[in-house]
């Protein structure tokens, strides 16, 4: 099985696939033990089967998430499966041919269509053409908020007006008031709509986090707003206290999620990014410890063509900064390994 995945999942380095057992939380792992975008134990078999052209495990996985209303995981799995189908679409084509009304197949197909449109210079026009796919996915299961997250992303790319976006947002939150994916989509739309006015984005993110359960991923939405501000470098200055408060809220969330696990790794990678930019070295080092061996392309791919290499360089900075802070409180030279967010952030 390990050999099959090493050959068929090119987005994970083959030399690193052998270390798939749970990693103990403790000392930082070696560079060659770090896994980039590692799938969790539920997604991995679906990707391996898709690489063989088989859609059954993906269908089973997504049906299970829909039946048990695991909307956060469903959103993540749909995104990853669609990304895989971008270069290996045979399994998805076969699935849609066999079950053209299947809500799960429709959703992956709609996500793939939106992703392809985003990569085109004619983005707005192509996105309008895929609207019927999103509508079909939304109608196939009225409970599911994930098609509405996709609709919110679609509206941003198609440059939809604010009134239409608010209608989509109302439909999304009726289905899942605290769904993280929908909130991120809304935040990104608002960042575009209010370009250069990060205070409004922080206000939206703070309100959402305050209303959400303590263990909900939406608790990290202010962290996403902080990331946008730190990488955008435009608009009025946001007070340092607000950036620290966003990081502190995510730090409080982190222990409520599994340690050294692929599922919360994306949130922890984002938290490490922000903490490093704020030069909070001991806090960043603690998140590295809790994160284990898992690197994720986001956020590092927004500032580098080599996300894994960038993660490893920042990790080195963090560990050095934390070691220095343990000896002296005089500070550490500012890391310049952040950078501007890439245009067309999607």
Q: What is the pLDDT of residues 25-66, one digit of tens each?
A: 667 789 999 999 999 999 999 999 999 999 999 999 999 999
In angstroms, the CA 191 to CA 209 distance is 17
- Stated as kind and residue range, the H or E segment containing 208 is helix 198-211
Mean residue pLDDT across the chain: 88
Among 293, 296, 318, smallest CA distance to 307 is for: 296
Tokens 């501000």, located at residue = 229
In angstroms, the CA 125 to CA 121 distance is 9
pLDDT at residue 327, as a whole number: 57
- Say if CB 78 and CB 111 are below 8 A apart: yes
CA 176 to chain centre: 18
In angstroms, the CA 171 to CA 150 distance is 12
Among 170, 234, 92, smallest CA distance to 151 is for: 170
pLDDT at residue 288, as a whole number: 98
Interval 208-246: pLDDT, tens = 999 999 999 999 999 999 999 999 877 789 999 999 999
- Can you spell out the DSSP letters for 239-260? PHHHHHHHHHHHHHHGGGS-SS
124 band by pLDDT with thresholds 50, 70 and 90? confident
Interval 130-140: pLDDT, tens = 999 999 999 99
94 band by pLDDT with thresholds 50, 70 and 90? very high
Q: CA-based angle 252:221:26, to the nearest 5?
A: 40
Tokens 């709509």, located at residue = 193
pLDDT at residue 321, as a whole number: 96
In angstroms, the CA 194 to CA 186 distance is 12
- Say if CB 262 and CB 80 are below 8 A apart: no
Kindly give the interhelix angle for 131-140 and 103-118, rounded to the nearest 10 degrees: 150
């Amino acid at each position: 099985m390990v050999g099959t995945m090493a050959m068929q999942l090119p987005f994970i380095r083959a030399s690193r696939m052998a270390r798939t057992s749970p990693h103990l939380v403790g000392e930082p792992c070696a560079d060659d033990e770090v896994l980039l975008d590692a799938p969790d134990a539920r997604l991995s078999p679906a990707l391996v089967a898709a690489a063989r052209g088989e859609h059954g495990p993906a269908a089973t996985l997504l049906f299970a998430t829909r039946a048990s209303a695991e909307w956060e995981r469903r959103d993540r799995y749909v995104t990853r499966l669609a990304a895989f189908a971008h270069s290996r679409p045979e399994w998805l084509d076969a699935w849609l041919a066999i079950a053209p009304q299947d809500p799960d197949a429709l959703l992956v197909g709609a996500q793939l269509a939106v992703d392809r449109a985003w990569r085109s210079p004619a983005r707005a026009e192509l996105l309008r053409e895929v609207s019927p796919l999103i509508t079909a996915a939304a109608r196939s299961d009225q409970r599911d908020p994930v098609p509405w997250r996709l609709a919110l992303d679609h509206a941003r790319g198609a440059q939809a007006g604010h009134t239409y976006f608010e209608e989509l947002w109302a439909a999304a939150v009726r289905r899942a008031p605290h769904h993280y994916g929908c909130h991120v989509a809304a935040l990104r739309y608002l960042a575009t709509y209010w370009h250069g006015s990060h205070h409004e984005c922080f206000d939206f993110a703070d309100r959402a986090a305050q209303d959400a359960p303590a263990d909900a991923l939406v608790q990290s939405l202010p962290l996403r707003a902080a990331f946008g501000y730190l990488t955008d470098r435009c608009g009025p200055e946001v007070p340092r206290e607000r950036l620290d408060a966003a990081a502190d809220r995510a730090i409080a969330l982190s222990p409520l999620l599994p340690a050294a696990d692929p599922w919360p790794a994306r949130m922890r990678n984002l938290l490490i990014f922000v903490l490093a930019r704020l030069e909070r070295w001991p806090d960043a080092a603690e998140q590295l410890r809790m994160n284990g061996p898992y690197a994720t392309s986001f956020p590092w791919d927004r500032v580098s063509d080599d996300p894994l290499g960038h993660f490893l360089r920042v990790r080195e900075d963090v560990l050095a900064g934390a070691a220095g802070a343990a000896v002296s409180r005089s500070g550490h030279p500012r890391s310049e390994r952040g950078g501007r967010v890439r245009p067309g952030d999607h």
